[in-house]
Structure 1
């Protein structure tokens, strides 16, 4: 909310007035799905968050949904370009306040989300089971990475000085939500710990664990629990911003 002074002419005189004007635009929320996923997994949550007064955008990364034939060739670098293009589409929406953008990423999408913050301004960052990849695999086809090597890497202690995603986290100064699945066979607790430790300058850091859940939230009760965490956090952030 901001105020604007106005001079109101009346008869041969004038009086002074003040407009109380709401800030232009509403928050924008960009969703980044995980590897082998699609925007379908985000649509229900996006619709609920839209009722809070946000403009939400879901989309399919290259190598997924209609472009699934590209999956064996698409690289993390190309998918980051997808994310940046989607961010620009969201921020250019006439209703969106460009200073109030949130990114909601899951797994591979959460990894991309952290790096996106180094290219575009992001106020709020939500990461569910954020995956981690070696920097040298940035331009390598994602679908051809060695799964055993990834598992080994994700169980290592990795610092922001050693990984571009964690380096992005160390520079991020907004609000963060990090959600872990208790029984995650793809993203172990060590990876989550690396992310949490990297957020050295975050304005706030909220960490939650979905009890009993696997990586994909394959049970409805786990999906509902995550949705409640995310929507509650977004509500707190959006209302706080207003």
Structure 2
């Protein structure tokens, strides 16, 4: 689903940010939203519209096994879904209005894990990960639903070095601007996972790390959602202003 229309105006120092970013530019940044496991693009409609209000083209999509492809849920592997992310990226980058050198990957949980992997396979300028998941590299082609849940939980209890995990290695090679957001009361993604990503992303051009106080993994409360939206929008706004200035 492409979002192109501008539903609202965001103002910076009395000027429309959308107008600032698009003035004199034939192409604008592209943003790809990657949903989590057992989620779908429908959860990201509002965020996509907010991103467009910043002067971007935004793409949401359903990975195999989700949304309209729910029937494949128990059969898809991480390889399948990574290919979905790369196909969506390529579609976004091919749009005439998108600057292919100014693309952001925004992933949540499982989607954050896939976005981290993808940032080393495609040109990515901005990488935003909320509660990014992590998995052992083994059994890459096994359907995700068939993976040992207890083994994954144990794997997440320790800080991992970049050279010990594909997603972390991709982050260590990333040289764009990164944002990591964790939930204070996250029972799905424990702190060692976040610390692993933060350590891996230290060589990035810039790294912003935030914690949403009192939030669970799903941002179940309205206050948690608003807090995350504020963190993400503020970060992306600054990234876009810097891009326009450059």
TM-score, normalised via structure 1 length: 0.90
User: Secondary structure of 1:137's match?
Assistant: coil
Task: Check the 8 A contact 1:45/1:231 in 2, yes or no.
Answer: no
TM-score, normalised via structure 2 length: 0.88
Q: Post-superposition shift, 1:23?
A: 3.8
Tell me, in whole angstroms, the C-alpha distance in 2 between the residues paired with 1:168 and 1:186: 22
Cα RMSD for the two superposed structures: 1.0
Greater fraction of residues in strand: 1
Counterpart pick for 1:133 among 123, 132, 135:
135
Tell me, in whole angstroms, the C-alpha distance in 1 between the residues paired with 2:122 and 2:238: 23
Counterpart pick for 1:83 among 85, 101, 105:
85
1:165-204 equivalence runs, <5 A:
165-204=167-206
Q: Post-superposition shift, 1:152?
A: 0.4
Report the count of equivalent residues: 222
Which residue is equivalent to 2:106? 104
Answering whether residue 64 of structure 2 is matched by residue 62 of structure 1, we say yes
User: Secondary structure of 2:127's match?
Assistant: strand
Tell me, in whole angstroms, the C-alpha distance in 2 between the residues paired with 1:214 and 1:220: 11
Q: Post-superposition shift, 1:41?
A: 1.5
User: Secondary structure of 2:185's match?
Assistant: coil
Q: Report which of the two structures shows the higher radius of gyration computed on alpha carbons.
A: 1
Unpaired runs of at least 5, structure 2: 1-22
> 1:192-223: per-residue Cα shift (whole Å, max 9, x none)?
00000011320000000011111011111111
The list of structure 1 runs, each at least 4 consecutive aligned residues, that deviate by more than 2 angstroms after superposition, is 21-24
Task: Check the 8 A contact 2:30/2:58 in 1, yes or no.
Answer: yes
1:200-211 equivalence runs, <5 A:
200-211=202-213
Q: Post-superposition shift, 1:40?
A: 1.3
Tell me, in whole angstroms, the C-alpha distance in 1 between the residues paired with 2:156 and 2:164: 13
